[in-house]
Amino acid sequence: MHVNNYTMTGSSPKLIMAYKGKLHKWYALTDLRSISWLLGIQVTCDHKMQAISLLQEAYIKMIIAHFVLAEAKPYSTPMIPSASYSKDDSPALANDAARMHKVLYHEMIGSLMYALVVT
């Protein structure tokens, strides 16, 4: 069996080394020491502040490029919280409706939700 990208953390380096020793008796391990990337997530460690940060910037930039959103304008609230929409608010012209069908809203939201849930 091959397992890739296993990460171990803890408050005691002595206990971590002991646990690694126990695992190594049963499995072939390669200790790559400090982690910087794990499954596409950038990992930074601040030992002084005892903090680990997981950064999804590279993944989010890939989403922006994939969905051609580099020119999108930021907006503090995606929609009016009290808004209520109906079918009457849909595009009236056929070419507007066809253009909207080509926009991959579900895929965009799903990609962003993945970044949210993973980190």
pLDDT value at position 14? 93
DSSP output for the chain: ----------S-HHHHHHHHHHHHHHS------S-SEETTEEEEEETTTTEEEEE-HHHHHHHHHHTT-TTPPP-SSSS-TT----GGGS-SSHHHHHHHHTS-HHHHHHHHHHHHHH-
pLDDT value at position 28? 83
Question: Is residue 5 very low, low, confident or very high in pLDDT (cuts 50, 70, 90)?
Answer: low
pLDDT in tens, 57-116: 888 899 999 998 889 888 777 778 888 888 888 888 888 888 888 888 889 889 989 888
pLDDT value at position 3? 64
